[in-house]
């Protein structure tokens, strides 16, 4: 054995010892070593052993091999007393706003309790005998997407009933930036419970930490809260999701466009519910100056879609390839300027637009003819103030 070979062998052994040959060591390979909270059972199984638990999850509660978390926990001897289902249900196939009924999971026989409709917050009797509730849902990082509201109500109920909450963290497809108007307290609702911007730049685990730390739960209570962090997660990177988070967000493209297009839900303009391209197109019968045409019809994701059966004129954004790390108001403004219907105002009479925007300011700015740059400038101070709060709860590299 020559001297060079001996030296190379010793160096190789040293590198292995130092961990430098671990593929997770390289920043460029961090995605290969990425794990969701659900894929780190060594961190959470010890917390669940010999306890009776509940679980808040849906079709997105998957591990890397596509095993559902409920099935994995049952297989590992964890006693699950109840599955709590958010908006869209345990299997994720209910329309937005559709009543989700209680039932039983046919595979495991575990009772399913809906956390939507009249029962958004677990009742004391529903938590009776439960030591701990696991929360594992793929969120999309946008204020009006209701899973963060479900988490808030769960934490509140946990604090009031001495039940621990364990959140298995997942990626935020809109992480690493904040944008949009910040909600004003007067406009608090299930599609906006806290004074945060439309895009808040926190994972759902970080968001729960913020709600707890800022004492935003009712009466200032604090939940016993444990977050199971992801491994090798970076806020500026984007990670593919294992299943669509809801029926009308079928792919990454719809998720990317969602914070910009969801404002249309408070107007006479369709976002493509009842088509093959929900949240990838927009249009109405009264925006005939726009080039794309479509007709919403009932389908599995929308049993009675808005503007059902009416020919709509708008734009197809399915091919829009720009990196959406900012809220885009172009499409909303374009639709408003092209809207011609003397019988109906552009904004719905119930002013759901204000509920989505978090105040009446954006609607009034659009009506007054403010430019996009003027509108965005008006968000600046509120976003700066929120960023100071957000910074306290960041767990991952920003």
The residue behind tokens 């596509």 is 66
pLDDT at 2: 53
**Tens of pLDDT along 3-14?**
454 444 444 444
Check pLDDT > 60 for residue 57: yes
Instruction: Compute CA distances 58 → 88, 114, 235, 295, whole Å.
Output: 8, 11, 24, 30
Residue range 31-51: mean pLDDT, rounded: 94
Average pLDDT of the chain is 90
- Using pLDDT thresholds of 50, 70 and 90, give the confidence band for residue 15: very low
Stretch (H or E) spanning 168: strand 164-168
- Using pLDDT thresholds of 50, 70 and 90, give the confidence band for residue 41: very high
Residue 104 β-bridge partners: 111
**Tens of pLDDT along 221-246?**
999 999 999 999 999 999 988 899 99
The token pair that represents 228 in the structure block? 């199971």
User: What percent of the chain stands above pLDDT 70?
Assistant: 89
CA distance 92 to 300: 11
**Tens of pLDDT along 107-129?**
899 999 999 888 999 999 999 99
Residue range 130-158: mean pLDDT, rounded: 97
Q: Which domains does the chain have, with CATH numbers?
A: 33-241+389-393 (3.40.50.12170), 252-367 (3.90.1150.140)
Check pLDDT > 50 for residue 204: yes
Provide the b/e sequence for 151-190 (b: ≥16 CB within 10 Å): bbbbbbbbbbbebbbbbbbbbbbbbbbbbbbbbbeebeee
Q: Is residue 2 classed as helix, strand or coil in its secondary structure?
A: coil
Check pLDDT > 60 for residue 98: no
Q: Where are the alpha helices (DSSP H) in 199-290?
A: 204-213, 252-261
In 3D space, the residue among 372, 376, 350, 353 whose CA is nearest the CA of residue 363 turns out to be: 353
Check pLDDT > 70 for residue 92: no
Check pLDDT > 70 for residue 219: yes
Backbone φ and ψ of 94, nearest 5°: -90, 145
In 3D space, the residue among 136, 138, 165, 143 whose CA is nearest the CA of residue 153 turns out to be: 165
Check pLDDT > 70 for residue 385: yes
Lowest mean pLDDT among 125-129, 300-304, 319-323, 371-375: 319-323
CA distance 240 to 248: 17
Residue range 298-317: mean pLDDT, rounded: 96
pLDDT at 166: 98
CA distance 345 to 352: 13
**Tens of pLDDT along 173-197?**
999 999 999 999 999 999 999 999 9
User: What percent of the chain stands above pLDDT 90?
Assistant: 81
**Stronger pLDDT, 25 or 358, i.e. the higher one:** 358
Residue range 161-166: mean pLDDT, rounded: 98
pTM listed for this prediction:
0.90
CA distance 253 to 234: 20
Residue range 149-172: mean pLDDT, rounded: 98
Instruction: Compute CA distances 126 → 66, 114, 203, whole Å.
Output: 29, 11, 27
pLDDT at 101: 62
CA distance 338 to 370: 16
């Amino acid at each position: 054995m020559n001297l060079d070979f001996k030296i190379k062998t010793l160096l190789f052994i040293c590198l292995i010892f130092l961990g430098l040959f671990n593929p997770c060591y390289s920043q460029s390979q961090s995605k290969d070593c990425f794990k969701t909270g659900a894929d780190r059972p060594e961190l959470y199984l010890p917390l669940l052993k010999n306890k009776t638990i509940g679980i808040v999850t849906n079709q997105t509660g998957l591990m890397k091999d596509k095993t559902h978390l409920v099935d994995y926990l049952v297989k590992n001897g964890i006693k699950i007393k109840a599955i709590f289902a958010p908006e869209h249900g345990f299997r994720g196939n209910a329309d937005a706003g559709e009543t989700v009924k209680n039932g039983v999971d046919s595979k495991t026989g575990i009772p399913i309790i809906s956390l939507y409709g009249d029962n958004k917050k677990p009742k004391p009797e529903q938590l009776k005998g439960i030591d701990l509730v696991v929360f594992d849902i793929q969120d999309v990082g946008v204020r009006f997407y209701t899973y963060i509201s479900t988490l808030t109500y769960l934490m509140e109920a946990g604090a009031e009933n001495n039940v621990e909450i364990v959140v298995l963290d997942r990626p935020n497809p809109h992480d690493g930036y904040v944008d949009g108007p910040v909600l004003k307290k007067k406009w608090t609702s299930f599609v906006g419970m806290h004074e945060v911007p439309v895009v808040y730049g926190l994972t759902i685990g970080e968001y729960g930490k913020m709600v707890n730390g800022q004492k935003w739960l009712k009466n200032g209570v604090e939940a016993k809260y444990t977050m199971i962090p992801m491994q090798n997660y970076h806020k500026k990177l984007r990670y593919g999701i294992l299943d669509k988070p809801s029926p009308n967000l079928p792919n990454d493209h719809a998720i990317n466009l969602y914070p910009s297009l969801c404002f249309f839900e408070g107007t006479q303009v369709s976002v493509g519910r009842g088509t093959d391209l929900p949240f990838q197109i927009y249009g109405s019968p009264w925006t005939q100056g726009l080039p794309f045409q479509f007709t919403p019809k009932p389908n599995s994701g929308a049993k009675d879609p808005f503007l059902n059966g009416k020919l709509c004129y708008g734009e197809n954004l399915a091919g829009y390839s720009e990196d959406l790390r900012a809220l885009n108001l172009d499409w909303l403004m374009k639709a408003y300027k092209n809207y011609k219907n003397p019988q109906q105002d552009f904004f719905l009479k119930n002013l759901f637009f204000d509920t989505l925007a978090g105040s009446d300011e954006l609607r009034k700015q659009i009506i007054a003819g403010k430019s996009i740059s003027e509108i965005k400038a008006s968000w600046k101070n509120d976003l700066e103030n929120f960023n100071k709060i957000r910074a306290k709860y960041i767990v991952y590299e920003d």
